[in-house]
Amino acid sequence: MPPQPPPAMMPTASQVLAAADAARQRAPAATVLHRPTWLASHVRLLGLPLPAAGTPAQWLAGALADHDAVDHALAQWLPATRFEAVDARALERLIAQALADLDEGEVAEDDALRSALTRLDLADARQAHRIVACPGRRGPNAPYANGPTEQVFWRDRTHWHLLELHHES
């Protein structure tokens, strides 16, 4: 069965890319929590209150561009991707993996990222999607040159969220 397109409210990768300039100009204050785990791997969680988020395309463009330590610009890698719907179980698995990854790194005394991950309430999660490579597309399909990257985004009653797990090796 062919992959299902995202729901009408969910932007496509090309719409996100088109909204990137507007998102940079709006630049609302998002909560960004980032922690290295091992080697050059990391876990990153970004949250933005819904009223400040703008359109889903603007929010996602801003969230994906809000990281300086990338190897590929958004315009280089996003066109080679698509958004695939995920269920609450997939979100739970990715959050569990993020927590396990944090255990691999140095323990932080005030671990705001771990605390935020454990407080996420997935009961109200909706419009959850992960960013996956388009089969047959050439060029980069992730912001980093090395290692796999899992990126999932969703909204709840009050926020949009983006969770990123990057494994460098």
Which residues have C-beta within 8 Å of that of residue 133, sequence separation ≥ 6? 80, 81, 141, 142
User: Averaged over 30-48, what is the pLDDT?
Assistant: 87
Fold for the domain defined by 13-166: Protein Transport Mog1p; Chain A (3.40.1000)
Q: Is the pLDDT of residue 27 over 70?
A: no
Q: In whole numbers, what is the pLDDT of the chain averaged over residues?
A: 83
How far apart are the C-alpha atoms of 124 and 111, rounded to whole Å?
Answer: 24
HSE on the CB side for 39, CA within 13 Å? 7
Q: Is the pLDDT of residue 24 over 60?
A: no
Residues 71-99 have pLDDT tens digits of 888 889 999 999 999 999 999 999 999 99
- Model-wide pTM > 0.85: no
Q: Is the pLDDT of residue 125 over 80?
A: yes
- Integer angstrom CA distances of residue 66 from 27, 28, 83, 144: 9, 11, 19, 14
Task: Give domain limits for the chain.
Answer: 13-166
28 falls in which pLDDT band (50, 70, 90)? low
Instruction: Count how many residues are written for the chain.
Output: 169
> Directed axis angle between helix 112-119 and helix 88-104, to 10°?
160
100 falls in which pLDDT band (50, 70, 90)? very high
Q: Is the pLDDT of residue 150 over 60?
A: yes
Q: Is the pLDDT of residue 6 over 60?
A: no
Residue corresponding to tokens 């801003």: 62
Q: Is the pLDDT of residue 5 over 60?
A: no
Closest by CA to 126, choosing from 2, 3, 9, 4, is: 9
